[in-house]
Structure 1
Amino acid sequence: MSFNLEQDLEAWRVAGLYRRRQTLDSPQGPEIMINGQHGLAFCSNDYLGLANHPDVIASFRQATDHYGLGGGASPLVVGHSRVHHRLEDELAEFTSRERALLFANGYMANLGVITALLGKQDGVFHDRLNHASLLDAGRLSGARFQRYLHNDVDNLDHRLQKTPARRKLIVTDGVFSMDGDVAPVKALSALAGQHRAWLMVDDAHGFGFLGATGGGVAEACGLDQQQLPVLVGTLGKAFGTYGAFVAGSDALIETLIQFARTYIYTTSLPPAVASATLTSLRLLREQHWRREHL
């Protein structure tokens, strides 16, 4: 039996789809050193320049002195530190939700949420341009998987009218990373209410700059916890660190703690990353406060 890996790779090259990693030799910033050459970076997710902020770095160093480096265990064993807990509390406050839950990264957050909430009797409705992690989670959940036309509320409405699903989950990016357009979350929320569905928004690219305090599309559009029950954000973009979180009701967060396999069966974020993120959050709030008052 042969797997023909070389043949498949060559076909991938011929199709122009072969990916190559670039090697970075400098900190994140507007100017970087990559593959031995100086260049301007227009592709980084470090939207606010916090990945190399001295206060964020100092917080990481201080927390490492206290906690060490690794998380040490799953959050349900001995991997949930005081600084993790504090960050979850502050993210819940920041998003105006009852609770928040940290995940190792955005991919694992999306996989954990959708597979924990849905099963074979349920339906998941994806924007056609959703991130790969959302699409993969929908397929892995076992729920009936449907993709509606990009930002097309009428097309989604048509699909929701036909579904026999027990639970219905509408899933969308907040800001679409490739096109830069924003999902019509107000209309999606209203439609979810009409069909007794839940709305889930992955706002990885919206946090930090949309909304009066950087709270993303939920804040910009005035959607509370009832109107947008499942809110996902990442920490490796505007926050400049690493990881992800889910914010929502107490019942949602408890459900994820009990049933989200990507939360239960993995080591927690390094505590120093949580500490650095708390500093990023403080800097973000200060920046928006100055903008409003100066």
Structure 2
Amino acid sequence: MTMHDDQVDVTADIVATLIRDQFPQWTGRAVRPLRSTGTVNAIFRIGDDLSARFPLRPTDAAEALAVLEQEARASAELAQVSLFPAPEPVALGKPGAGYPMPWSVQTWLPGTIASDADPSGSEAFAEDLAVFISALRDAETRGRLFSGDQRGGVLTDHDEWMAKCFAESTGLLDVPRLRRLWSHFRELPRTGADVMSHGDLIPGNVLVAGGRLGGVLDTGGFGPADPALDLVGAWHLLQPGPREVLRRALGCDDLEWERGKAWAFEQAMGVVWYYVESNPTMSAMGRRTLDRILASME
């Protein structure tokens, strides 16, 4: 089942043809599609040390290339400041072989994603996550500020999206209760200046090894944002005890902690209904995050 109505089809044969035509030095390497809970890209292994990412939704090729170039710069920057392994950009591919958009190649990181190796009860993992977030926060913004309409800017900018989420979630969730919670979250004031953030610390973007943080994926969104944004990981990834370990390690005050909860709430509300049939793992993650947030408010 596809995840988006307008999803672009990409197969191992297409990928092998693109590699042969554009990167002949990798011809003959095994091309293997990866089972992924991701919702933006189809991912393929190329041999043992590379992976290729193919955007799933169609867009103008020039616009897509600009996005991939920016993501490559962001990934390279994060890899320089992260204290944990992160993929590094290798190459950008062009449309071809029936695939209509540019695509990207990066280094492959071994490990098990947190969706499959649940670290939620590990205080050591929470400590590692705090170290990772702190290192990003300490990175220079170089005068850059948050831009765009995604998570990490102004909470009230998401009112229209949240109204759609509530409407689509009727019959799936306790919408009246969740509406009341958003009424609280959207009023939380922003006080801190932008810091550098990963932006999407969900289980599918985190590698686990022996109950510790083994690496971080999907780093192309690295950029300036609300300091509370990366606190979504507290709710997507952790049970109450380790969550408090993370909070103490980062020194979060009550307002920053609540704003992190608000961003996690906004994200979770969107994935529950949108992926309820097409990506049950992602939808279940959203439900679990909402349950954790609701339990924290009791």
Task: Report the TM-score range of the alignment, normalised by the length of the smaller protein.
Answer: under 0.3
Q: Which has the larger radius of gyration?
A: 1
* Greater RCO (CA < 8 Å, at least 6 residues apart): 1
TM-score by length of 2: 0.27
TM-score by length of 1: 0.27
